Structure 1
Amino acid sequence: MTGQTAVEKKPQDVLPASAQGLRGHPWFTLITVAVGAMMVALDGTIVAIANPAIQKDLGASLADVQWITNGYMLALAVSLITAGKLGDRFGHRQTFLIGVVGFAAASGAIGLSGSAALVIAFRVLQGLFGALLMPAALGLLRATFPAEKLNMAIGIWGMVIGASTAGGPILGGVLVEKVSWQSVFFINVPVGVLALVLGLVILRDHRAENAPRSFDVLGILLLSGAMFCMIWALIKGSEYGWGSGRTLAFIGAAVAGFVLFALWETKVREPLIPLGLFRSIPLSAGTVLMVLMAFAFMGGLFFVTFYLQNVHGMSAVDSGLHLLPLTGMMIVASPVAGALITKLGPRVPLVGGMVCTAVAMFGMSQLTVGTGTVTMSVWFALLGLGLAPVMVGATEVIVGNAPLELSGVAGGLQQAGMQVGGSLGTAVLGAVMASSVSSRLPDNWAEAELPPLSPEQSSAASKVVEVGIAPVRPGTPPQVADRIAGVAHDTFVSGMSTAFMVAGIVAVLAALVAMLTKRGVNAEAGAGVGHI
């Protein structure tokens, strides 16, 4: 046993899994936390498919529909690190189970809601409970698995997260088309019940002897406020204008909040995030890598769905099926990546993964209006192959390089990195798309000899072209409508190509950052807890 000094010396902790039964068994623990985490990952993408149906059924405004997504994302991103600290303090089993129950209950409440305001309110609750659940899942894996098996466990966990994220549009499309938009949320209820039953039977609470005993309340307020201002600026920047006073005010408030937080953390007795954690270059590199990976992945995936549905005219289900090469490759490659990282260490697989991701992004920048399924599938599969080792390896580098008593905070950092990176990628690449469309649409429109547009009409046309929709007015002659559609789709694809080039450059930077990573130096702290 190598980890006994880091955890409480309970007699049941040192028994082999076969003698313990189900309670605390590592692989059953993995299954349990994967079921719970699957709900949160699915909701990150599945709800986007349901938004049009929600808008129509509830008479919601465009702003209401945006807040159905933004409210969830804000609550999740702001709360993750604090939620991880709660797990370190009170035990990850307890916070995981509370998160599962709360997330499932909020999901059921959304399905029963009769107004957009209620849907938004319960989506915020979903985000808060999801924040409890996700870091706790990683904390449980970190405490349960020995060092030599941790990468494989995180690989399978990452496979579930990746498959759920990419598979959300498929499942959401089927449920909305065949059942109702409410079913997108109701499906979380039986999944939550299953995760709760498994958790009560299987999960064992692991707490480090030197786990935190108090709360850094001011630190929580400063970090939460800074995170809120940063995410809010990213969400609303395109609406306010990136150079507007409101956007700059929120960015400035975020920077000030982070600076004050860092200063406070050096003075408080039990800080929310001990800044010494970042003296670990691998941990810091892993966090940056997670942000850059999510920037490229989530930002790029945002445009792929518009490309498939609005340019190629696919249904939600068909577009989801076209993403199966991405989903399938992540499912296959994640456990393989875990095994490779265990054998070789994380550096080579992480660098290779980001190189593959960069190549895929550059390849996707060459997509055209008429690109066929086979070509798209090649690039989607390569993207899945590249993302798998990064999802696994960066997670292990962050969690494995943190002390056991801070595994929840480390799990919160990992998840917060993904949320910040995804928000940043969507905002920056969205701005790239908007700039490209606004500069190219007038010339393309004139070259097609279409009736000239007033400045107001041109601005309105640019807004819809940014998501691949042709600005065709009712009653437009078919020939003219076809020319407008051709101009709109060509302009959108040009902007998408530029966005993918930027994502590819970010992926190259991430490959350089990955060279600073190494195996978790504290992973052996979990080696004495259970046998595989």
Structure 2
Amino acid sequence: MADAKTVAAPPPPDPGTSSRQGHPWLTLLSVSLGVIMVMLDGTVVAIANPVIAQDLKASLADLQWVTSGYLLALAVFLITAGKLGDLFGHKRIFLVGVAGFALTSLAIGLSSSVGMLIGLRVLQGLFGALLQPAALALLRVAFPGERLKMAMGAWGGIIGLSSAAGPIVGGLLVEHVSWQSVFFINVPVGVVAMAMGLWVLSESRAQTLSKVDWLGVVLLSGAMFALVWAIIKAPDWGWGDPLTIGFLAAAVLIGAVFVWWQARVAEPLLPLSLFSNASVSIGTGLMMLVAFSMFGAMFFLTFFFQGVHGLTPLESGLRMLPMSAGMIVASPLAAVLIGKLGTKITIAGGMLVTALAMFLMSRLSLDAAFMDSGIPFVLLAFGLSPVFVGATEIIVGNAPEDLSGVAGGIQQSAMQVGGALGTAILGAIVSARVADVYPGHWADAKLPPLPAEQVDGLKELATFGGAPSAQMMPGVPEQVVQGIAGVSHLSFLDGMHLGFLVSTGVAVLAAVLALFVKAGRKSEDGPIHMG
């Protein structure tokens, strides 16, 4: 095993260097503009998918790749991208990410085939991975010590604002302009982010690192790819399928080799000593659990609003507005509460509020009005914000400044993996529940028997909140079709309720885990342990 080496942290920059370069709040605004592109892109693509399918003659599998290709590239490359920022400069990597994301967005809007679209989405994910950890690392340097909490609070508010605007802007653009416009909108945002970044950001990089651990990059990328790919494909293959088990086993095996190599190389891609800080490890687990709970549960609300209630994409976005808009207020408030009450109490309290919101979601009825979902959404905003703010500050704030890019990559990777796990696992739970209760609802409705293959297709449709129309079932009386629609909606609701109850339990588990964390580093002059 290579000897561990400890080096002194670099001295803080001269406060008299520039009034704008490195200015904390201008830095926050600058990096937020870049990340807003990624947030908008994440919310508007789902809204554009139906129109993309019609325009490019894309199949359901093609549309899954439009999302999965981006997710894979993002999740696989995040930690490596953070390391590149530590080595070559966070400002430089951030600006490369912004420019690349904007240019690939432009190319996506000009795509003439679904294959071209998927390839560009993968490239877009790589550039998105470059800019996100770099943004957090730049904030880590601009807001040292206790001031990082304030930055994370404001950061969360800006993210909440872009999340709130995403479904509304995306719905308006798709309905009144074109699906291409949801990608073109990234171009002017990217131009402004580039200009401001060049003017405002000051360069920061590690003083103690000199090279890239390329074998570590290959091993980590392979492990992350196998893990995320297994999660993405498990709903189609089945969790017990040999392919799913094989990819999960490959992720474990390659991951074990990666850990072995990191313990021996002089300048590891991901120093294992980073996780000797219990708060970094627990903060990473918290980020995964909250992403599991939130993204997994929110995935089904889209089907509930559009499939069961028959709302348009824009109307669905408006239904979710209380949560996204609430985060604009809740995130800065969370930073204040963390400063007054401490990290563990605030995060634990936030997760308990999140658990309450999830439980209320599990009680939604078929005819749920705006306020029935609006109140839990507001609770979610005030429950999740302390966790996002606090867990990010815990991970990035407890890491040495020389590893701030890697820490940002860990935070983002935890969110991506947790969200993918939540969507896949809760999807399997909901699907199994729908299949289990469907025959009972069918019998209660006193519907005539249908061929087994046709019933299986109806169950699959019900898993996504869908119901058959008269055109889908020629020769079947209208009254029977309506009865089947009622059975499908009731079955989906039972599945969604169970999904939210599982999310409630995950949120309670995260609340307990939060009691073991500590706040971020308050001193910037401590030693840095490198391996």
TM range (shorter): over 0.9
Which residue type is aligned with residue 513 of structure 1?
L
- 1:6 equivalent to 2:9? Answer yes
- 1:436 equivalent to 2:433? Answer yes
- Partner of 1:204: helix, strand, or coil? coil
CA positional deviation for 1:218: 1.1
2:320 maps to 323
Matches within 5 A, 1:176-325: 176-210=174-208, 212-325=209-322
- Partner of 2:502: helix, strand, or coil? helix
Is the Cα–Cα contact under 8 Å of residues 396 and 520 in structure 1 kept in the other structure? yes
CA positional deviation for 1:90: 0.4
- Partner of 1:147: helix, strand, or coil? coil
Partners in 2 of 1:508 and 1:297 — Cα distance? Answer: 13
Greater displacement, 252-261 / 285-294: 252-261
- Partner of 1:354: helix, strand, or coil? helix
Which residue type is aligned with residue 135 of structure 2?
A
2:382 maps to 385
- 1:484 equivalent to 2:488? Answer no
Partners in 2 of 1:195 and 1:526 — Cα distance? Answer: 31
1:514 maps to 514
How far does the alpha carbon of each residue in 1:80-138 deviate from its partner, in whole angstroms, 9 at most, with x for none? 00000000000100000000000000000000000000110110011000000000000
CA positional deviation for 1:471: 2.4
Which residue type is aligned with residue 128 of structure 2?
G
Is the Cα–Cα contact under 8 Å of residues 80 and 135 in structure 1 kept in the other structure? yes
The equivalent position to 1:366 in structure 2, one of 355, 358, 363, is 363
Query: Unmatched 5+ residue regions in structure 1?
Result: 528-532
The equivalent position to 2:41 in structure 1, one of 19, 40, 43, is 43
Is the Cα–Cα contact under 8 Å of residues 77 and 126 in structure 2 kept in the other structure? yes
The equivalent position to 1:147 in structure 2, one of 134, 145, 148, is 145
Partners in 1 of 2:161 and 2:291 — Cα distance? Answer: 15
1:60 maps to 58
How far does the alpha carbon of each residue in 1:300-340 deviate from its partner, in whole angstroms, 9 at most, with x for none? 11011111111111111111111111011111010111122
Which residue type is aligned with residue 48 of structure 2?
A
1:525 maps to 524
Which residue type is aligned with residue 493 of structure 1?
L
CA positional deviation for 1:167: 3.9
Partners in 2 of 1:250 and 1:193 — Cα distance? Answer: 40
Greater displacement, 448-457 / 323-332: 448-457
Is the Cα–Cα contact under 8 Å of residues 398 and 410 in structure 1 kept in the other structure? yes
Is the Cα–Cα contact under 8 Å of residues 11 and 525 in structure 2 kept in the other structure? no
CA positional deviation for 1:61: 1.2
Partners in 2 of 1:322 and 1:248 — Cα distance? Answer: 38
Matches within 5 A, 1:330-345: 330-345=327-342
CA positional deviation for 1:146: 2.6
1:530 maps to none
Which residue type is aligned with residue 67 of structure 2?
T
Which residue type is aligned with residue 442 of structure 1?
P
Q: Check 1:500–1:415 CA distance in 2 against 1; reply closer, same or farther (3 A cut).
A: same
Q: Check 1:167–1:422 CA distance in 2 against 1; reply closer, same or farther (3 A cut).
A: farther
Which residue type is aligned with residue 266 of structure 1?
A
Is the Cα–Cα contact under 8 Å of residues 155 and 337 in structure 1 kept in the other structure? yes
Partners in 2 of 1:67 and 1:156 — Cα distance? Answer: 34
Is the Cα–Cα contact under 8 Å of residues 144 and 526 in structure 1 kept in the other structure? no
CA positional deviation for 1:452: 1.6
1:413 maps to 410
Which residue type is aligned with residue 10 of structure 2?
V
Is the Cα–Cα contact under 8 Å of residues 143 and 526 in structure 1 kept in the other structure? no
Matches within 5 A, 1:109-120: 109-120=107-118
- 1:398 equivalent to 2:395? Answer yes
- Partner of 2:466: helix, strand, or coil? coil
CA positional deviation for 1:5: 5.8
- Partner of 2:146: helix, strand, or coil? helix
Partners in 1 of 2:450 and 2:168 — Cα distance? Answer: 38
- Partner of 2:524: helix, strand, or coil? helix
Matches within 5 A, 1:53-202: 53-202=51-200
Alignment root-mean-square deviation, CA: 1.5
Which residue type is aligned with residue 108 of structure 1?
L
Give the paired residue count.
517
The equivalent position to 1:353 in structure 2, one of 350, 353, 359, is 350
CA positional deviation for 1:8: 5.3
CA positional deviation for 1:162: 3.4
Partners in 1 of 2:407 and 2:525 — Cα distance? Answer: 15
Partners in 2 of 1:490 and 1:43 — Cα distance? Answer: 33
Greater displacement, 362-371 / 335-344: 335-344
Partners in 1 of 2:468 and 2:440 — Cα distance? Answer: 16
1:451 maps to 448
How far does the alpha carbon of each residue in 1:188-226 deviate from its partner, in whole angstroms, 9 at most, with x for none? 00000000000000000022322x211111111111111
CA positional deviation for 1:526: 8.7
Is the Cα–Cα contact under 8 Å of residues 350 and 384 in structure 2 kept in the other structure? yes
CA positional deviation for 1:154: 1.1
Is the Cα–Cα contact under 8 Å of residues 361 and 497 in structure 2 kept in the other structure? yes
Partners in 2 of 1:282 and 1:63 — Cα distance? Answer: 40
CA positional deviation for 1:343: 3.0
Which residue type is aligned with residue 91 of structure 2?
R
Greater displacement, 64-73 / 451-460: 451-460
Partners in 1 of 2:232 and 2:319 — Cα distance? Answer: 28
Is the Cα–Cα contact under 8 Å of residues 74 and 228 in structure 1 kept in the other structure? yes
Partners in 1 of 2:179 and 2:341 — Cα distance? Answer: 45
Is the Cα–Cα contact under 8 Å of residues 288 and 417 in structure 1 kept in the other structure? yes
Is the Cα–Cα contact under 8 Å of residues 28 and 139 in structure 2 kept in the other structure? yes
Is the Cα–Cα contact under 8 Å of residues 164 and 325 in structure 2 kept in the other structure? no
CA positional deviation for 1:161: 2.4
Query: Unmatched 5+ residue regions in structure 2?
Result: 1-6, 527-531
Partners in 2 of 1:98 and 1:526 — Cα distance? Answer: 30
Which residue type is aligned with residue 46 of structure 1?
V
Partners in 1 of 2:212 and 2:112 — Cα distance? Answer: 38
TM-score, normalised by the number of residues in structure 1: 0.95
TM-score, normalised by the number of residues in structure 2: 0.95
Partners in 2 of 1:511 and 1:137 — Cα distance? Answer: 28
